A and B are shown apart, each in its own frame.
Chain A
């Protein structure tokens, strides 16, 4: 029962953050919303796949998505001269 509630909480927050990422007009301010979605999806991976190795999958997803957000923000800052 507890894992079902946690699953719904993570799923709803992932959906909410995804919608906010889409409707936010500023490209920099999209990224914190995307970050919330990544947290929720990393949690969902572990809650759906209950196995000791699923922590590797969640960490790989989370670190990869963080690196992408880092690359998008830094590339944009360098190209647009925002640094």
Chain B
């Protein structure tokens, strides 16, 4: 079993790749789901960022997307194993509907994350390290530098479209 200070960065990288991939596949950078998400995206674009990346960040703020699904699935696996993660996916779907969003990105992210975290628990990872890892992953996108994060997301979006 790996030490915690090695597990957390690995978990953060896996969560980052999972939620960015699912969000890009579900075309979150394309347009703001609600007016507020589009306004956040435009503001980040005006302040030196890239508009598609900013729009995706606005969408993450405005509705539980794959990042929220990954976090809640990791929490679910931590407290109740794989069924807990799948229960979290159902809750994320309800949360998406409350936030006026079709809910496919969040639910897909939560289901995939439940299996990912459960699989790594079998390999000897601690599920709480995935909670910390997901919080670090969202910090790198939303909490450090909006211009750089939005340009990075826009570049990944460029490969997709």
A residues adjacent to B (C-beta < 8 A): 1-3, 5-6, 9-10, 13, 16-17, 20, 26, 28-29, 31-36, 39-40, 42-43, 46-47, 50-52, 54-56, 58-59, 62-63, 66-67, 69-78, 82-83
Contacts and interface: CB of A to CB of B under 8 A. Distances in A.
A65 to B, nearest CB: 10
A28 B42 CA distance: 10
Contacts of A59: 72, 88, 91-92, 95
B75 A42 contact: yes
14 contacts: A3-B126, A20-B143, A28-B39, A29-B47, A46-B79, A47-B128, A52-B79, A66-B61, A70-B37, A70-B63, A71-B36, A73-B34, A73-B35, A82-B39
Interface residues on B, range: 35 or more
Contacts, number: 177
Interface of B: 4-5, 7-8, 34-40, 42-44, 47, 57-58, 60-64, 67-68, 71-72, 75-76, 78-80, 84, 87-88, 91-92, 94-95, 98-100, 126, 128-129, 131-132, 134-136, 138-139, 142-143, 146
